[in-house]
Structure 1
Amino acid sequence: MDMSKPLWEFHVLNIKTSNAESLCIGKLHHSLGDGMSLMSLLLAISRKTSDPEALPTTAATRKHVDSNDKDWWLVGRFWFMIRIIFTTVIELFKYCLTLCFMRDTKTPLKGKTGDRVQSRKVIHRIISLDDVKLVKNTMEMKVNDILLGMTEAGLSRYLSRKYDEGMVVEKKKILEKIRLRGTVIVNLRETTKIEDLANMMAKGSKSRWGNFVGIVIFPLWIRSEDDPLEYVQRAKSTMDIKKLSMESLICYGLIKFAMKMFGEKVVVETLVKRIFDHTTLAFSNVMGPDEETSFFGHPMSYVAASALGGSQALIIHFVSYVNKIIINLAVDTTVIPDPHLLCDDLVESLDIIKLAALEKGVHKMEV
Structure 2
Amino acid sequence: MDASADSPSVAALLSRRSLSIRTPRAPAAGADDSAAEEEPVTPNARLMESIYIVISMGLGSPLNMAVFSAALDAIVVRFPRFQSIQVTDGSKDGNPRWVQVTVNVHDHIIVPTLDPAAVEADPDQAMEDYTASLLTLPMDRSRPLWEFHFLDFPTSEASSTVLIRVHHSLGDGVSLITLLLASSRSAADPTRLPAMPKQPARAGAIYEPPARSSGAGALLAWAWSYFLLAWNTAVDVAFFAATIIFLRDPDSLFRGEDDGMVHRSRRFVHRSLSLDDVKFIKNAMNCTVNDVLVGVTSAALSRYYFRNSGDTNAKKICLRSLLPVNIRPALGLQTYVNMIESGKSSKVVWGNQLGYILLPLHLAMQYDPLAYVHKAKKTMDRKKSSLEVLCTYKTAEFFLKKFGLKAGSLISRGMLGNTTMTLSTMIGPAEKIEFCGHQVAFIAPSVYGIPQALIVHYQSYNSTIKVILSVDDEIFPDYGELLDDFSESFVQIKDAASRLSKSIKKK
Is the shorter-chain TM-score for this pair beyond 0.5, marking a shared fold? yes
Matched, 1:350 2:490: yes
Map 1:67-78 → 2, pairs under 5 A:
70-71=214-215, 72-78=217-223
Paired residue for 2:248? 103
Among candidates 133, 150, 174, match of residue 279 of structure 2: 133
- Sort the Cα spacing of 1:253 and 1:144 in 2 relative to 1 into closer, same or farther, 3 A: same
Among candidates 444, 451, 463, match of residue 304 of structure 1: 444
Matched, 1:91 2:236: yes
- Sort the Cα spacing of 1:28 and 1:351 in 2 relative to 1 into closer, same or farther, 3 A: same
Q: CA deviation at 1:78?
A: 1.4
Amino acid at match of 2:315: E
Deviation sequence 1:295-347 (CA, Å, 0-9, x none): 12211111100011221000000000010001111001111111110010011
- Sort the Cα spacing of 1:49 and 1:116 in 2 relative to 1 into closer, same or farther, 3 A: closer
> TM-score, length-normalised on structure 2?
0.67
Paired residue for 1:208? 349
- C-alpha RMSD over aligned residues: 2.2
Amino acid at match of 2:270: H
Paired residue for 1:167? none
3-state SS of paired residue (1:211): coil
3-state SS of paired residue (1:304): strand
Deviates more, 1:256-265 or 1:60-69: 60-69
Q: Distance in 1 between matches of 2:416 and 2:141?
A: 24
- Sort the Cα spacing of 1:136 and 1:291 in 2 relative to 1 into closer, same or farther, 3 A: same
Paired residue for 1:35? 173
Among candidates 330, 334, 342, match of residue 191 of structure 1: 330
Among candidates 455, 480, 487, match of residue 315 of structure 1: 455
Q: Distance in 1 between matches of 2:226 and 2:194?
A: 38
Aligned residues: 359
Paired residue for 2:141? 3
The answer to whether the Cα contact below 8 Å between 2:456 and 2:469 also exists between their aligned partners in 1 is yes
Amino acid at match of 1:182: S
Deviation sequence 1:56-86 (CA, Å, 0-9, x none): 1211224599898532543332111111001
Q: What percent identity do the matched residue pairs reach?
A: 39
- Sort the Cα spacing of 1:215 and 1:150 in 2 relative to 1 into closer, same or farther, 3 A: same
Deviates more, 1:201-210 or 1:351-360: 201-210
Map 1:137-156 → 2, pairs under 5 A:
137-156=283-302
3-state SS of paired residue (2:429): coil
Structure showing greater Rg: 2
Amino acid at match of 1:161: R
> TM-score, length-normalised on structure 1?
0.92
Q: Distance in 1 between matches of 2:335 and 2:269?
A: 28
Structure 2, gaps ≥5 residues long: 1-138, 203-207
- If asked which structure has higher relative contact order (CA below 8 Å, sep 6+), I would say 1
Structure 1, gaps ≥5 residues long: 165-170
Deviates more, 1:141-150 or 1:36-45: 36-45
- Sort the Cα spacing of 1:94 and 1:140 in 2 relative to 1 into closer, same or farther, 3 A: same
Q: Distance in 2 between matches of 1:206 and 1:130?
A: 36
Paired residue for 1:221? 362
Paired residue for 1:182? 321
Q: Distance in 2 between matches of 1:215 and 1:300?
A: 31
Among candidates 285, 288, 300, match of residue 428 of structure 2: 288
The answer to whether the Cα contact below 8 Å between 2:200 and 2:330 also exists between their aligned partners in 1 is no
Among candidates 400, 418, 425, match of residue 278 of structure 1: 418
- Sort the Cα spacing of 1:275 and 1:214 in 2 relative to 1 into closer, same or farther, 3 A: same
The answer to whether the Cα contact below 8 Å between 2:285 and 2:497 also exists between their aligned partners in 1 is yes
Matched, 1:255 2:392: no
3-state SS of paired residue (1:144): helix
Paired residue for 2:470? 330
